[in-house]
């Protein structure tokens, strides 16, 4: 995402930044839940191996629990990844564009993504409602599947809102290409992407400590 100082924004840019700031905590929460689910699944897998191998007492419905967890692992972090620009982007063409041409291409790509996600929200909501009304369960342990299916449209809705912010930000840049950037993804190299991820996850202090350690290492090698 754009790292423009909010104090330099005005008008539409300030509104876009406000929307970004309101959605970001939700994305952070969803990403945290996904991370917790991954760790919990790892511990559950270890526990299953130990109980089954050592005590011959496997966890009932283990396969069902793994299947139900897939939705949170796969989708809850999508909007967060979109915000950071950490998703896979085909930049062979986009990387050569500049000015209004670049932002027009970004806006078109974002609209296409919004159309796809909007369709997925509709059909995943139908799948959830059908599972909820029919009382659908897993085959083995008969756990209800509707909570897992509900995660999908919720996660996709957050993703859709993030794409909406990026679309509005891209349209704003088409109209005012020299304005401070807000709500848009900036193309970055690997080092810049890593710094942004460290800043998002651990804060600005961690980024400063990392830079200081790097300088110390370089100084030690120089001596």
Q: Tell me, what DSSP letter sits at residue 157?
A: H
Predicted pLDDT at 29:
95
Residue 137 bridge partners (DSSP): 144
- Cα–Cα distance measured from residue 73 to residue 88, given in angstroms and rounded to the nearest whole number: 18
Flag whether 107 is in a domain. Answer: yes
- Integer Cα distance of 18 and 171 in angstroms: 17
Residue 1 inside a domain? The answer is no
Q: For every one of its 223 residues, what pLDDT tens digit does the chain have, with 9 covering 90 and above?
A: 554 545 445 556 788 888 989 999 999 999 999 999 999 999 999 999 999 999 888 888 889 999 999 999 989 999 998 888 776 666 667 767 778 888 898 899 899 999 999 999 999 999 999 999 998 898 888 899 999 999 999 999 999 999 999 999 999 988 888 877 777 877 665 666 667 666 666 666 655 665 566 555 555 555 5
| pTM for the structure as a whole | 0.79
CA 20 to chain centre: 13
Torsion of CA 152, 159, 31, 166, to 10 degrees: 180
Domain count for the chain = 1
Q: Who contacts 95 (Cβ-Cβ below 8 Å, separation ≥6)?
A: 187
The predicted structure's pLDDT at residue 153? 96
Whether 125 contacts 153, CB under 8 Å: yes
CA distances to 1, 137, 138, 149, 215 from 146, rounded to whole Å, are 33, 8, 10, 5, 52
Give just the sign of the alpha carbon dihedral 19, 23, 28, 31: negative
In a domain, 136, yes or no: yes
**44, HSE (Cβ side, Cα atoms, 13 Å):** 16
Q: Is 97 helix (H, G, I), strand (E, B) or coil?
A: coil
pLDDT at site 7? 47
Domain for residue 79, yes or no? yes
Backbone torsions φ then ψ of 194, nearest 5 degrees: -65, -40
Domain that holds residue 126: 7-213
């Amino acid at each position: 995402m754009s790292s423009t100082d909010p104090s330099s924004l005005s008008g539409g840019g300030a509104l876009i930044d406000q929307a970004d700031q309101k959605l970001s905590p939700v994305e952070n929460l969803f990403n945290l839940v996904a991370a917790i689910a991954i760790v919990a699944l790892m511990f559950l897998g270890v526990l299953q191996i130990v109980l089954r191998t050592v005590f011959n007492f496997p966890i009932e419905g283990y396969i069902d629990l793994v299947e139900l967890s897939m939705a949170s692992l796969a989708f809850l972090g999508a909007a967060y990844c979109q915000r950071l620009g950490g998703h896979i982007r085909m930049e062979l063409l986009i990387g050569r564009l500049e000015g209004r041409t670049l932002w027009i291409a970004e806006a078109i790509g974002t609209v296409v993504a919004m159309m796809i996600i909007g369709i997925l929200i509709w059909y995943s909501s139908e799948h959830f409602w059908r599972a909820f009304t029919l009382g659908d369960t897993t085959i083995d342990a008969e756990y209800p599947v509707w909570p897992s299916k509900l995660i999908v449209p919720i996660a996709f809705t957050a993703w859709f809102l993030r794409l909406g912010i990026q679309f509005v930000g891209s349209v704003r840049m088409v109209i005012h290409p020299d304005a401070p950037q807000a709500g848009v993804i900036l193309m970055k190299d690997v080092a810049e992407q890593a710094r942004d991820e460290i800043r998002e996850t651990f804060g600005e202090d961690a980024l400063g400590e990392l830079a200081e350690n790097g300088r110390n290492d370089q100084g030690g090698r120089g001596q």
